[in-house]
Amino acid sequence: MSEDTVIEILSKLPVKSLLRFKCVCKFWHELFGSPGFISKHQENEHSTRLVVRYLADDEDDPHEERLCICLFHDETLADVSLREDILPVMPREACPMGPFEWGLFCCISDIKQEIGLWNFATRDYKILPKIKPDSFWTIYGVGLGMDQKSNCSKLVCAMAIAEYDHNDVLKSSDSNQVAIYSIDTNSWRNFQSLELSKYKFEVGDTSKGRYQNGDCYWPVKPRFEIKHPDYKVILSFDLSNEVFQEIQPPDCRHESPIHWPYKALGGT
């Protein structure tokens, strides 16, 4: 049986079976955690899923709370996962920024300066490497997607970053930094983008970028040439060429601009 045939069969199995088969061989263990396989598995999964996040009392410390997740796989809302503690090493202040593409759930803690990825399919939770040593960052926009040229999965963060020397003396600060994490190489690369200085990211759900066809998208407020206080545009980021582009929104003069839900659809 060819490798492609094996992968096709495995991609149609339920999550519980994949969890049992992780220990069969190293190839399967790595395969089940790859974004490509997770995406293929989700395409073959026709059941409706509901992901519920909630805070629960910590059994070890009644004064602490833990961020937990329940997975409901169909419209009956029968909980098949019981309770999943996805933040055993991160504080309550960690900000859940997902779910994202391919069942990857991202959590960010400004206090601990840590970013973690939780894999929906394998239940693995991974703390990412430090973005930059001797620095302190604040992330205001985040997205996850595929670089279609290199076929590499990337996490992109729009952020402010301050660097300190070994005596904790501020050396430099920049509010227009872009940090890109490559899931394939487990490494960060960051650069300055003056384009970010033109926009203000919203706090909350809209700070989570939507991905489609190699680009991440955010609704943002222009800092200049403001037509009215609630006017927004769409900012896209090309994960291959690593450039931003502004997209004008549709002319909805009769709609309230305050609440602006958006979603990336298929196609080009």
The pLDDT of residue 244 is 94
pLDDT (tens digit, 9 = 90+) per residue, 35-47?
A: 677 767 766 665 5
**pTM to 2 decimal places:** 0.71
Tell me the domain boundaries of the chain: 129-268
Whether the pLDDT of residue 266 is over 60: the answer is no
Is the pLDDT score of 236 beyond 90? yes
Residues whose CB falls within 8 Å of the CB of residue 34, separated by 6 or more in sequence, listed in order: none
Instruction: Give the Cα separation of 227 and 247 in Å (integer).
Output: 15
* % of the chain beyond a pLDDT of 90: 10
The pairs formed by 17-25 with CB atoms below 8 angstroms and a separation of 24 or more are: 18/121, 18/122, 19/122, 19/123, 22/122
Burial code (b: 16+ CB inside 10 Å, e: under 16) for 82-118 equals eeeebbeebeeebbbbbbbbbbbbbbbbeeeebbbbb
Question: pLDDT (tens digit, 9 = 90+) per residue, 134-154?
Answer: 788 888 888 888 888 887 889
Instruction: Calculate mean pLDDT across residues 172-198.
Output: 88
Residue 99 has pLDDT above 50, yes or no: no
pLDDT at 181: 94
pLDDT one-digit tens code per residue, 101-124: 566 778 887 777 888 887 766 667
ω before 99 within 30° of 0 (cis)? yes
Q: What is the mean pLDDT of residues 243-268?
A: 64
User: Residues 6 or more apart from 96 whose CB is under 8 A from it?
Assistant: 53, 67, 105, 106, 107
